[in-house]
Structure 1
């Protein structure tokens, strides 16, 4: 188990491969998940690059602490973790809230960001009202109160029908997330607007989205790609909000090709 005390909390992370042997890819997980959602992608990238996954603040085995509930807090955690691991620059791939964290990291520590992969995310996700409603249910009923609805957004009907055991496991992952950590992340999303940060991106960027994403639909991700200078949008067929789980071959292929092309541009 790889652990580090970062900004007053313990962050659970896993660095695979040697950073000196090639590019480092940082994979940031989505709201209500831990870094296991990246396992199938990490295994497909093995040998081509080093990968870093971590449980963001308040998720998985990482602590929550008492820092402000903001995207900036999460970005500062990632910056400090990269500094701790002596990773001077990486390809930053963020899923959902992870995409907002990636954009904030680029804005505050551009030296750490060689390229961006913004997956199933947007410059602004949801509305204050929608997040307030989610927060209220989490606090009063628990995450289980909306878990089945979340599964419908995360995964396609085909996944529900063909992979019921995995569906059950990912629902369990969601409902076992610490409520206070989940709520803090919702509060961060409620106030987050990365429009200006997206317009100022200066590194190679690709936006990726599942064609059946129920949380950040393709039109919303295309709108983000339109904001980012030089970005393009790629659609993953037969995938919902978490294509790295549902279609790891396609996701890893897109990511691998982008890493090669962005390194040539650099």
Structure 2
């Protein structure tokens, strides 16, 4: 089922719903530089028992890419808009990297909408203001090709890049197809977001998944995140930043166990 909605500022939001309409909903939130297809392994495995909702974050895929800086609160409101289009009041959430920050925001600001939370390859603050500002400037000057090689080194471990060159090539293609304005707008959201001061307010059952080989959000950040969120569980996988692709079966298994427990 295709999902279409308009954000408060008119931005087009496009997504899909997979699975039985009466099944428990599970909303996935993608990373910067990735679209909703990031979650294909998990949707394929879980859509028999869950109503899996995926959508392209603003600036990505089929969704609109307005000029200007975006904010985590804006991206969180976009997620609530998609839930409205799907007629979902309360959902399980799974977000990776930028999507994990959005998930944290939703769990704090809209706790009644969140049944459980899975935070993958993320942190309460990702990177530095200087780093994101520099990346925005590079992308605006050179386009996404200017960062594509470095992004693939963050996305996937050396062993995975060697063993699965076709997968890496496909995600490089998807990255470089991202609108420059959209990628830069999401970089601004990452530049400004710091959820650390409010993490203790998260009440939803939470699973934190980290990657032992992740250089973008190193495993020690996953440990710190899990230690700060009350009652959170932690799983570290032998993967780089896109752990749900590199270790798809292990990621899905951990997610499924968390959902069933929640």
Structure 1 length as normaliser, TM-score? 0.94
Sort the Cα spacing of 1:136 and 1:103 in 2 relative to 1 into closer, same or farther, 3 A: same
CA distance in 1, matches of 2:25, 2:213: 29
1:78 aligns to what? 79
CA distance in 1, matches of 2:114, 2:68: 24
2:121 aligns to what? 120
Where in structure 1 are there 5+ consecutive unaligned residues? Answer: none
CA distance in 2, matches of 1:163, 1:18: 33
Following superposition, the deviation at residue 170 of structure 1 comes to 0.6
Sort the Cα spacing of 1:108 and 1:19 in 2 relative to 1 into closer, same or farther, 3 A: farther
Following superposition, the deviation at residue 67 of structure 1 comes to 7.8
Following superposition, the deviation at residue 5 of structure 1 comes to 2.4
2:153 aligns to what? 152
Cα deviation code 1:150-172 (max 9, x no counterpart): 11111011111111111111111
1:45 aligns to what? 46
CA distance in 1, matches of 2:115, 2:144: 36
Following superposition, the deviation at residue 216 of structure 1 comes to 0.3
1:55 aligns to what? 56
From 19, 33, 36, the counterpart of 1:17: 19
CA distance in 1, matches of 2:3, 2:82: 12
2:233 aligns to what? 232
CA distance in 2, matches of 1:179, 1:86: 32
Task: Work out whether residues 27 and 51 of structure 1, in 8 Å CA contact, stay in contact via their aligned partners in 2.
Answer: yes
Task: Work out whether residues 67 and 73 of structure 1, in 8 Å CA contact, stay in contact via their aligned partners in 2.
Answer: no
Structure 2 counterpart SS, 1:115? strand
Following superposition, the deviation at residue 260 of structure 1 comes to 0.6
CA distance in 2, matches of 1:228, 1:191: 21
Task: Work out whether residues 19 and 87 of structure 1, in 8 Å CA contact, stay in contact via their aligned partners in 2.
Answer: no
Task: Work out whether residues 125 and 189 of structure 1, in 8 Å CA contact, stay in contact via their aligned partners in 2.
Answer: yes
Cα deviation code 1:111-167 (max 9, x no counterpart): 110110000000001111101110110011111112111111110111111111111
CA distance in 1, matches of 2:204, 2:45: 24
Following superposition, the deviation at residue 261 of structure 1 comes to 0.6
1:245 maps onto 2:245 in alignment: yes
Task: Work out whether residues 212 and 241 of structure 1, in 8 Å CA contact, stay in contact via their aligned partners in 2.
Answer: yes
Give the RMSD, CA atoms, in angstroms: 1.3
2:256 aligns to what? 256
CA distance in 1, matches of 2:105, 2:180: 24
CA distance in 1, matches of 2:122, 2:78: 20
Equivalence map 1:54-203=2 (5 Å):
54-65=55-66, 69-203=70-204
Number of equivalences: 260
Following superposition, the deviation at residue 65 of structure 1 comes to 3.5
Task: Work out whether residues 131 and 186 of structure 1, in 8 Å CA contact, stay in contact via their aligned partners in 2.
Answer: yes
